[in-house]
Amino acid sequence: MSCKDTRERVGALDFDVVVVGAGFAGMYMLHRLRGMGFSVRVFERGGGVGGTWYWNRYPGARVDGPSMQYSYSFSPELEQEWRWTEHFAAQPELERYANHVADRFGLRRDIQFDTAVTSATWDDTQQLWSIGTGRGDTVTARWFVAATGCLSATNVPGFPGLDTFKGRWLHTSRWPKEGIDLLGKRIGIVGTGSTGIQAIPELAAEAAHLYVFQRTPAYSLPSDNRPLEPEFEQDWKRRYRELRQAARKTWFGSVAFVAAERSALEVPEDERDRIYEAAWGKYGGVLTAFNDLTVNEAANETASEFVRKKIRQIVKDPGVAEKLSPRDYPIATKRICIDNGYYETFNRPNVTLVDVKADPIQAITPTGLRTANAAYDLDVLVFATGFDAMTGPLFRMNITGRNGVKLQDKWAAGPRTYLGLATEGFPNLFIIAGPGSPSVLSNMMVSIEQHVEWISNLLDHARNTGTDAVEAKRDAEDAWVDHVNAVADDTLYRRANSWYVGANIPGKPRVFMPYVAGVGTYRERCDAVAAAGYDGFRLQS
């Protein structure tokens, strides 16, 4: 059945598919579905394409995986013509790439910018989604795809007094396009995750004084960034098809991030140290030096202690080095940070580390920030305090499924999905890189492309078989949730209070959200489900 036939049959359908988000997931979803003959409308909250790379303009923002692999593979022409200038591209280059893709494939004509989706309601009688936007539009579509990203709903802690602050405050992912004048300012930054660690060296270079308010120290590894050598680029471009194919079969979705086949405990200590030293500063390095760092506590401790030793070597003040040293969770169980001179920044005379676990933040005042024991005068206050990850972007769309059930209510005790792609009671809703899929524990580009292709193939199948509604079955979903949990239980990931488990948002249920079996295994599972006629889904005409 053609799209036109589908529209005529329903009568009330504005589009075959509404996609939310024009980041890398939404852009490819649009391109792919349009190429298959579906009518598609994309709604994007921002004023341009790029998602994460549209919003995160803070100083130092840069991808933490190799650019040659953090890029689309669906178009051999695109991957040949685009030229990355650095091994790890910075935000402006990534945003340029997103714009290049939008121009090259004529995507903009089907994207409505500056438009947030504020409601999405399933109509069981007509079997369609009714989607409302912040601009007052309502449109209908058979299929509804959330390409909203995992880290797009910002988290600004509710410190008392923030509204009284006379200086300027901002969250890192709402940094203005025109930048802000930081030169000679007294700057405070709350948060030392991946974002804070990238921003801190840059802020310190501009500030009269920088106060770093740290609650939990992070493990950070030096970036391997450098200009991309033409020979390296040419070699990759020659072998792109083979390398892309290989990456899809790995755990992380990157041929540069594959663990060595040996335990950290099977080599003598001095050899282990030599291996870690050689790995320091190389992409994947310390984390891929052995194969049991995320599953064996003793093995993990060897890597954790190696990083602490490095911190002691780099940071001159032993007291500051100790405060920067993570002690209460294993390395890699929170997202590893990749930095450009982070620890070195604490040797600068204009940088002060404030341990707000020992001396908690009590309030923001008109002139700065007050902890239990001290007051800090500030001109600019930066929140690098992260996101309501994975579920936040979905909940803020107010999604209502069959029988008036809200997604928030169904997921009150934590997200429940089948394959991370769909959830029972919400027919025809698909989530790209959602909870229950490898998602944030992978090279996102590989995960995005896999989901986009799987979802679009399913929509094509539905069209060809006259299927109007596709819904995950409860038993398949329950089994998947159990499986996701069982795989996580075999690792150390639950040992950290991370955003992977929702620990950064007060009141959020503690559920480990990503699927940790790896993208290769996951792809096989998804392919097997499709090959078995979309086993675990109810397909209704």
Residues 328-367, one symbol each (x = binds ligand NAP by CB under 6 A, - = not), give -------x--------------------x----x------
Distance of CA 225 to the CA centre of its chain: 20
Residues 143-182, one symbol each (x = binds ligand NAP by CB under 6 A, - = not), give --------x-----x-------------------------
Q: Measured from the CB of residue 216, what is the shortest distance to ligand NAP in angstroms?
A: 3
State which of residues 69, 73, 148, 192 lies at the interface with ligand NAP (CB under 6 A).
192
Closer to ligand NAP at the Cβ: 220 or 250?
220
Q: Is 194 in the site for ligand NAP (CB under 6 A)?
A: yes
Q: Which of residues 445-474 bind ligand NAP (CB under 6 A)?
A: none
Neighbour order of strands in the sheet with 375-377: 361-365, 368-371, 375-377
Q: Which of residues 500-519 bind ligand NAP (CB under 6 A)?
A: 504
Burial of 408 (0-12, 13-18, 19+ CB in 10 A): middle
DSSP-derived secondary structure letter, 51: T
3-state secondary structure of 139: strand
Closer to ligand NAP at the Cβ: 192 or 325?
192
Using CA atoms, how far apart are residues 306 and 304, in angstroms rounded to an integer?
Answer: 5
Closer to ligand NAP at the Cβ: 157 or 414?
157
Q: Measured from the CB of residue 263, what is the shortest distance to ligand NAP in angstroms?
A: 27
Degrees, nearest 5: CA angle 515-516-522: 65
Closer to ligand NAP at the Cβ: 48 or 326?
326
In 3D space, the residue among 141, 156, 148 whose CA is nearest the CA of residue 117 turns out to be: 148
Using CA atoms, how far apart are residues 177 and 450, in angstroms rounded to an integer?
Answer: 32
Residues 203-232, one symbol each (x = binds ligand NAP by CB under 6 A, - = not), give ------------xx----------------
Q: Measured from the CB of residue 63, what is the shortest distance to ligand NAP in angstroms?
A: 5
Amino acid at residue number 370: R
Closer to ligand NAP at the Cβ: 194 or 296?
194
3-state secondary structure of 478: helix
Closer to ligand NAP at the Cβ: 466 or 509?
509
Q: Measured from the CB of residue 501, what is the shortest distance to ligand NAP in angstroms?
A: 11
Place of tokens 């991030």: 257
Structure tokens at 268: 């003598």
Q: Is 193 in the site for ligand NAP (CB under 6 A)?
A: yes
Closer to ligand NAP at the Cβ: 290 or 500?
500
Interface with ligand NAP by CB under 6 A: which range of 3-11, 62-70, 249-257, 368-376?
A: 62-70
Number of helical (H) and strand (E) elements in the chain, helices listed first = 17, 20
Using CA atoms, how far apart are residues 192 and 346, in angstroms rounded to an integer?
Answer: 13
Closer to ligand NAP at the Cβ: 195 or 250?
195
Structure tokens at 332: 């890699």
Q: Measured from the CB of residue 150, what is the shortest distance to ligand NAP in angstroms?
A: 8
Q: Measured from the CB of residue 332, what is the shortest distance to ligand NAP in angstroms?
A: 12
Closer to ligand NAP at the Cβ: 63 or 303?
63
Q: Is 139 in the site for ligand NAP (CB under 6 A)?
A: no
- Count of other CB atoms within 10 angstroms of residue 493: 22
Burial of 414 (0-12, 13-18, 19+ CB in 10 A): middle
Amino acid at residue number 247: A
Q: Is 190 in the site for ligand NAP (CB under 6 A)?
A: yes
Amino acid at residue number 110: D
Q: What count of residues does the chain have? A: 541
Q: Is 71 in the site for ligand NAP (CB under 6 A)?
A: no
Phi, psi for 506 (deg, rounded to 5): -55, 130
Interface with ligand NAP by CB under 6 A: which range of 58-66, 129-137, 228-236, 466-474?
A: 58-66
Percent helix, percent strand, percent coil in the chain, to nearest 5:
35, 20, 45
Q: Is 32 in the site for ligand NAP (CB under 6 A)?
A: no
Closer to ligand NAP at the Cβ: 154 or 457?
154
Burial of 362 (0-12, 13-18, 19+ CB in 10 A): middle
Total interface residues for ligand NAP by CB under 6 A = 25
Closer to ligand NAP at the Cβ: 219 or 418?
219
Q: Is 440 in the site for ligand NAP (CB under 6 A)?
A: yes
DSSP-derived secondary structure letter, 178: T
State which of residues 32, 62, 463, 523 lies at the interface with ligand NAP (CB under 6 A).
62
Q: Is 385 in the site for ligand NAP (CB under 6 A)?
A: yes
Interface with ligand NAP by CB under 6 A: which range of 12-20, 186-194, 308-316, 393-401?
A: 186-194
Mention every residue, 6+ apart, whose C-beta is less than 8 A from residue 256: 65, 66, 69, 283, 284
Cβ(108)–Cβ(31) below 8 Å:
no
Q: Is 247 in the site for ligand NAP (CB under 6 A)?
A: no
Using CA atoms, how far apart are residues 426 and 143, in angstroms rounded to an integer?
Answer: 11
Give the residues lining the site for ligand NAP (CB under 6 A).
62-64, 151, 157, 190-196, 198, 215-216, 335, 356, 361, 384-387, 440, 499, 504
